Structure 1
């Protein structure tokens, strides 16, 4: 079952105030490239001159079509409210959301990542307390903690994401490969794939980088769920074995061909195409890409296969999960009630089920029915597997997060793991006053 550890996020981040004037279409995530402005069709948006228009901002451009339909349903049911949806590239959204929310004219309903962005927006005072809203009960209680601070429910996680590699189950069956349960079995699996001219893992280093892979690579190397909190308090160090061994594992994967050539230069779309074309067995991202992979190759049968870097007897965690795409109401909005009405609509089981099945996302909403094959094949991870909350989201200082991720990229670029760890630790100490 899911093992929860969200921690108390703290610290202010320096946020860029450069806001792009328009958004282009986006393609996803913690890797998503472009954004778009949308709000259902113009006819429904202009259905009533007296309607109150609310602004809904987020970063998931690949969800535009289903949100357009959901917004149309909402406007039909609530003719006195229209929704203008604006979608931004995720990195732009993470950098600029605070500035967008500042005057209350944008983002009546907005979304937040857990961790550093949540804490930044919270410190700026832009969350509306949703603790007493009835729709909070529509969400699984076990998923709500990540959106809480100081005893208040400030944001509602909508998606339950599994941040670990997605693999081609059909390929494994054809090659007679069993899912590995130890480091030695994982090595055997990778060698079998390579012998069949298949790259074990397509790694999108050019845009997503190690943001997702680091979580499952370290999950059993650093079993202490407070390790990043202790790093930021000065009690832990990246030069200790838990992180150096993780960098050594990245080095091993890279030097032994577990990643494709020029992994740091491969973008998300190219990595996904490798899996769709069955040139690679796994995609080093997460569940949020399963629907897109099926769009590229409808015959793919997909599952999750996080890297196992320790002997079987040392395995404690089987995977990684995150409660994210957190829905919130802008404290500076003059349309809070209408914004809450929209979130309440999104929390209805039939609407949530439509969103889940059409986007390939597991959700935190109670009573969601998963009709898609991919979701049905992976839903057992919610209750039957010991998964750990994404460690990266427990880093609260942006500079510390950058140092951690850069140490992986430097290792993949040829720097010795110990040296990369020392360089990163120096940056950590400069930013925590250690």
Structure 2
């Protein structure tokens, strides 16, 4: 099998028994690099490299992974042994708030000398606002498999580097699947529904779904849309007006939410991400419909059962194209408005070292993109079996217009709650049409 930069990957070609990440969509080009240290503007020829010089000063590291704070504290301590004139301070914001507010907070360089971005709309907004410097000629990208960091490129330049890849499929309680004699590797949609039936009959909630948290609730669509969509770039085409969510293909996706509704916990529309994790960690639900980013948190909640990932295969028997879903995210960058760019770059390059990435991966149960990393964390080691499979780049992040995206994700929740697919799709399409000015 060969690497498929925009749609999928295999372990043999990409990971080389090492870290993993996704290759993404090339996004819009940029006009200028923003304000440079010392005032003034850089030439309008596109983003330029971080300023050179001796690393010194305080680096604000802006990100949303509060659960990784302790791991980063240890990495900061190691970093500061080498760079005595540099201090690194974590500036952590909840993921939903970071998604909405980060651009304004980092724009003037007061926060986020070194910063992170989500793939998709946030990265594009950073590019458009000239927030990011060009890392192409620095040491950092050399630590990664080149095919895996395209999600951080724009106009042929490496403006950010995806540090993580997450499997965006439900986490499964293997013990509950075994007890119910349910198939944890369903080969098609009917097989997945059969597994849900068996789990429900065994007395547990089959799927804990954070329907009250739009960002996390939307992870399920990454899998469910893969078979019925007419193209792999389906949501890009929806945003461009070439496809509509009122078309038959998306109505079929929404019908899958109708079929799954009996298998979600009661009051799923009011369930937060934290509550859905607790339900799963306590052994009351067999699946948590989020992704591998929840593994460490579930362990932190005291769970001891065996965990694995499960792909809710949306295809009919014998027609499956994909075997899983992943996303490239937590993209590292250096702020063009920072006054301590040499120090911020030194921190990004330090995180990019194999030994740093290996520590981070196994401490946080996160797959990383740095080459040569060995996964010793038991949950990662088990989930890594999916890296041998043909897995698709998460389609939900094709949207760069958040209003359109949120309208589509809301339609999925509405259908599960009882609205007809046609009504929910029409309401979403109206918002999309408004955003498109049609």
Whole-angstrom CA distance in 2 between matches of 1:406 and 1:296: 29
Residue of structure 2 in register with 1:432 after alignment: 436
Residue of structure 1 in register with 2:239 after alignment: 232
Residue of structure 2 in register with 1:244 after alignment: 251
> Which residue of 208, 211, 223 corresponds with 1:216?
223
Residue of structure 2 in register with 1:94 after alignment: 99
Task: Using the TM superposition, give the Cα deviation of residue 199 of structure 1 relative to its aligned residue in structure 2, in angstroms.
Answer: 1.0
Residue of structure 2 in register with 1:188 after alignment: 194
Task: Using the TM superposition, give the Cα deviation of residue 310 of structure 1 relative to its aligned residue in structure 2, in angstroms.
Answer: 2.3
Whole-angstrom CA distance in 1 between matches of 2:64 and 2:81: 25
> Secondary structure in 1 aligned to 2:328?
strand
CA shift digits 1:248-279 (9 cap, x unpaired):
1111211xx21111111112222112222221
Residues 3, 386 of structure 1: 8 Å contact kept: no
Residue of structure 2 in register with 1:45 after alignment: none
Residues 11, 396 of structure 1: 8 Å contact kept: no
Whole-angstrom CA distance in 2 between matches of 1:354 and 1:3: 28
Whole-angstrom CA distance in 1 between matches of 2:305 and 2:110: 44
Residues 224, 253 of structure 2: 8 Å contact kept: yes
The alignment's TM-score, normalised by the length of structure 1, stands at 0.87
Matched, 1:392 2:415: no
Cα distance 1:252–1:319, how it changes in 2: closer, same or farther (>3 A)?
Answer: same
Whole-angstrom CA distance in 2 between matches of 1:270 and 1:150: 41
Q: How large is the RMSD of aligned CA atoms in angstroms?
A: 1.8
Cα distance 1:300–1:368, how it changes in 2: closer, same or farther (>3 A)?
Answer: same
Matched, 1:204 2:205: no
Task: Using the TM superposition, give the Cα deviation of residue 213 of structure 1 relative to its aligned residue in structure 2, in angstroms.
Answer: 0.9
> Which residue of 258, 263, 273 corresponds with 2:263?
258
Whole-angstrom CA distance in 2 between matches of 1:294 and 1:54: 31
Whole-angstrom CA distance in 2 between matches of 1:97 and 1:153: 20
Whole-angstrom CA distance in 2 between matches of 1:430 and 1:154: 32
> Secondary structure in 1 aligned to 2:274?
helix
> Secondary structure in 2 aligned to 1:84?
strand
> Secondary structure in 1 aligned to 2:263?
coil
Residue of structure 2 in register with 1:31 after alignment: none
> Secondary structure in 2 aligned to 1:235?
coil
- Which structure carries more relative contact order (alpha carbon 8 Å, separation 6+)? 2
> Which residue of 277, 285, 288 corresponds with 1:272?
277
Task: Using the TM superposition, give the Cα deviation of residue 202 of structure 1 relative to its aligned residue in structure 2, in angstroms.
Answer: 0.3
Task: Using the TM superposition, give the Cα deviation of residue 328 of structure 1 relative to its aligned residue in structure 2, in angstroms.
Answer: 0.3
Whole-angstrom CA distance in 2 between matches of 1:362 and 1:403: 30
Residues 55, 86 of structure 1: 8 Å contact kept: yes
Residue of structure 1 in register with 2:368 after alignment: 363
Matched, 1:414 2:418: yes
Residues 29, 154 of structure 2: 8 Å contact kept: no
Residue of structure 1 in register with 2:327 after alignment: 322
**Matched residue count:** 394
Task: Using the TM superposition, give the Cα deviation of residue 3 of structure 1 relative to its aligned residue in structure 2, in angstroms.
Answer: 4.1
> Secondary structure in 1 aligned to 2:375?
coil
> Secondary structure in 2 aligned to 1:144?
helix
Q: Map 1:118-197 onto structure 2 (within 5 A).
A: 118-178=123-183, 179-197=185-203
CA shift digits 1:286-324 (9 cap, x unpaired):
001111212234422111112122212221111110110
Residues 29, 155 of structure 2: 8 Å contact kept: no
Residues 320, 387 of structure 1: 8 Å contact kept: yes
> Secondary structure in 2 aligned to 1:303?
strand
Whole-angstrom CA distance in 2 between matches of 1:412 and 1:185: 20
- Structure 2 gaps of 5+ residues are 7-23, 31-54
Residue of structure 2 in register with 1:292 after alignment: 297
> Secondary structure in 2 aligned to 1:193?
helix
CA shift digits 1:86-145 (9 cap, x unpaired):
100112111111111222221110000010000111100011011111220101212211
Residues 239, 418 of structure 1: 8 Å contact kept: yes
Whole-angstrom CA distance in 2 between matches of 1:419 and 1:8: 34
Matched, 1:109 2:114: yes
Residue of structure 1 in register with 2:386 after alignment: 381
Whole-angstrom CA distance in 2 between matches of 1:121 and 1:273: 34
